Structure 1
């Protein structure tokens, strides 16, 4: 399995913004373990990776470089945008990724401003680490604002849409 630096950084960012305490990714001779630890009450991820040991009869391999990892500070979600109407319910991005309004480029959007939605209805897709994550509404009502353009990157905790609940 090959992960470039940007994919690894994105993976660590997504894991850091969840309640996952430990994450292990194994593929062939590659293993990545990410554990969050508490230090001074602050949640911090740590990273360890390993490669398999060479077979006993294998020729000596070049020494592996030593990599020292330092815990990354936990990301703080951005402050929510102020609302004009406190009755509106925000639909918030649960992860870092790319926002898509439709299931495919040639398909109509899941929802438009003015549409009535129901609880559990798919309202958009957030692509993270090449995985398409359908985001479902947690409230029924009318979509009054869509705050993100199609194909735009979004942050964890970012308001995507506002709904006037039914």
Structure 2
């Protein structure tokens, strides 16, 4: 993968427009870490696969605030990670209508386990968990439009 100055400029511009605080991009021996310090909001780390970043930079974005749909308990957990969308698209919790959903609140997920699908430009992209833990909250509903970097699920670690 060849990264040009134009790609980096587009990436920086995209990060500035989004609510992303930290972005880490690692491909083979290349590693890029972008930090956007904020006094008001605690830093949230967003890790995206490089193949998804450059596809989403040139996509149109629709900013729709995430909706809280399910929660395993009323007490907020302090030890959780967030699974984020690596692209703009439509969130689906199952491979097809009427089929078994990938994960529910309370399910244990393992690394590289598919947790949902994001449809972008008629392509179904499986989103995998990058951590192990228990799904404590699903932040979007089936069929919702999600933005690049938007939180999809909270996983208690």
TM-score normalised by the chain length of structure 1: 0.55
Higher relative contact order (CA 8 A, sep 6+): 2
Tell me, in whole angstroms, the C-alpha distance in 2 between the residues paired with 1:148 and 1:123: 13
Instruction: Say which SS state the counterpart of residue 162 (structure 1) adopts.
Output: strand
Aligned partner of 1:37 in structure 2 is 6
Alpha-carbon distance between aligned partners in 2 of 1:90 and 1:135, rounded to the nearest angstrom = 13
Give the structure with the higher percent helix: 2
Give distance in 2, aligned partners of 1:144 and 1:110: 14
Q: Return 5+ residue gaps in structure 1 as ranges.
A: 1-18, 23-35, 46-72
Runs of 5+ unmatched residues, structure 2: 22-40, 45-75
Note the aligned Cα RMSD (angstroms). Answer: 2.8
Larger radius of gyration: 1
Which residue number corresponds to residue 14 of structure 2?
Answer: 74
Partners in 2 of 1:44 and 1:118 — Cα distance? Answer: 33
Which residue among 85, 91, 94 is the counterpart of 1:99? 91
Give the equivalent residue in structure 2 for 1:66: none
Runs of 4+ in 1 over 2 A off after TM superposition: 19-22, 73-86
Q: How many angstroms apart in 2 are the aligned matches of 1:150 and 1:21? A: 34
Following the alignment from structure 1 to structure 2, what is the Cα–Cα distance between the partners of residues 159 and 111? 15
State the match for 2:79 in structure 1. 87
- Count how many residue pairs are aligned between Structure 1 and Structure 2: 104
**Out of 125, 138, 141, which is 1:146 matched to?**
138
